[in-house]
Chains A and B, each alone.
Chain A
């Protein structure tokens, strides 16, 4: 973390609105891109990014610097997404499925509108359960350890490890099925 970021965090913790705004603005693209990959739904990613920023403002005082600021944002965003998925469980199943499908269609459209082929691997990733997708993403794209993933998702590190393994197995299975 650069000195500039540390200084902004310090000022934000003292209630400086301008420093908070600058800090959040700087990290917005990173946060949004993480949420795109975690949710596979751009509009949901945007909503969650906004919720994450609000939560971040509320909790700024509790950030202790033990992890990078971006990791702290990912933690807040992941927990908000998990909470939202739990709330959705109580709603109609078909509504959730439709929303998820629309999300990945929107990403696919973005690829195709730029004359790029939609990736089979990303398609398979979008079909994984949220828990498996987030675990695979945090481990193999962002490079976090199992202990860190466990802390972020509020699960034991053993569960994080088994989710990553199960996610990869599922991914492989989906891709093998596509082959057939």
Chain B
């Protein structure tokens, strides 16, 4: 199938996509009851997830705090060395992740 111009191709494409839409015009949306049940279940799931995340966050924060305080007390040089190392490592990994994402997009 050859098209002489982009406009001709785009017109044909739009017409075919409209036909495709018409083929799925009879799609039945979920009933209101189903959706309300989904919303209620989702709300419960979200609250549970938030609670679990808060719990994990608190435990990890407490652990980190106790580790930091004990290192600061026993080896201050190591403590300040790690303070410098962590931000650098975080920046480096962010850079790597960004490059990887761009490469994936380019491959697409």
Contact = CB atoms under 8 A, between A and B. Distances in A.
Interface of A: 17-18, 20-22, 24-26, 28-29, 32-33, 36-37, 42, 53-54, 57-58, 86, 89, 107, 110-111, 114, 116, 119-122, 125, 129-132, 136-137, 140-141, 155, 159, 168, 171-172, 175-176, 178-179
A179 B17 contact: no
A141 B36 contact: no
A152 B27 CA distance: 25
Interface residues of B, number: 33
Contacts of B42: 54, 57-58
Nearest to A125: B13
Interface stretch (B3-11, B69-77, B79-87): B3-11
A21 B2 contact: no
Contacts of A24: 35
Nearest to A58: B46
B12 A121 contact: yes
A175 B16 contact: no
B1 A36 contact: no
B40 A121 contact: no
A137 B30 CA distance: 26
Given A21-B35, A28-B30, A37 B20 contact: yes
A21 B32 contact: yes
Contacts of A86: 104
A168 B40 contact: no
18 contacts: A21-B32, A25-B30, A28-B30, A29-B27, A33-B21, A36-B20, A36-B24, A107-B20, A110-B24, A120-B1, A121-B12, A129-B108, A132-B108, A171-B9, A172-B9, A175-B1, A175-B2, A176-B2
